[in-house]
């Protein structure tokens, strides 16, 4: 299947569902146009980045949050 369109800036391109099924892609896709090639990739979910960042700050501090809060307050009351 060949899809021909003149691509312009801020142009929406509708990819036929049959073509997406042939490429084993479901849902939203992202189209990347380079100088010599066009790539179609599965679009990331908005929550994907959130899931990657979830829990990155765990175990940064040696004490629990309550003790840390008390220590910080005591330090500022000097």
What share of residues in the chain are helix, strand, coil (percent, to 5)? 35, 15, 55
Q: Report the alpha-carbon distance of residue 20 to residue 39 in Å, rounded.
A: 12
* Per-position pLDDT tens, the chain of length 78: 565 666 666 666 777 888 888 888 877 777 777 778 878 777 776 667 777 777 777 777 788 889 988 988 999 886
Q: Report the alpha-carbon distance of residue 75 to residue 78 in Å, rounded.
A: 6
The per-residue pLDDT for 4 is 64
- For the chain, the structural domain boundaries read 17-76
Predicted TM-score (pTM) of the model is 0.38
């Amino acid at each position: 299947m060949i899809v021909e369109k003149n691509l312009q800036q801020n142009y929406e391109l509708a990819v036929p569902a049959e073509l997406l099924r042939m490429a084993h892609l479901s849902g939203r896709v992202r189209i990347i146009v380079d100088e010599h090639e066009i790539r179609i990739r599965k679009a990331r979910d908005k929550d994907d980045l959130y899931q990657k960042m979830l829990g990155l700050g765990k175990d940064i501090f040696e004490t629990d949050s309550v003790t840390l809060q008390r220590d910080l307050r005591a330090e500022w009351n000097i």
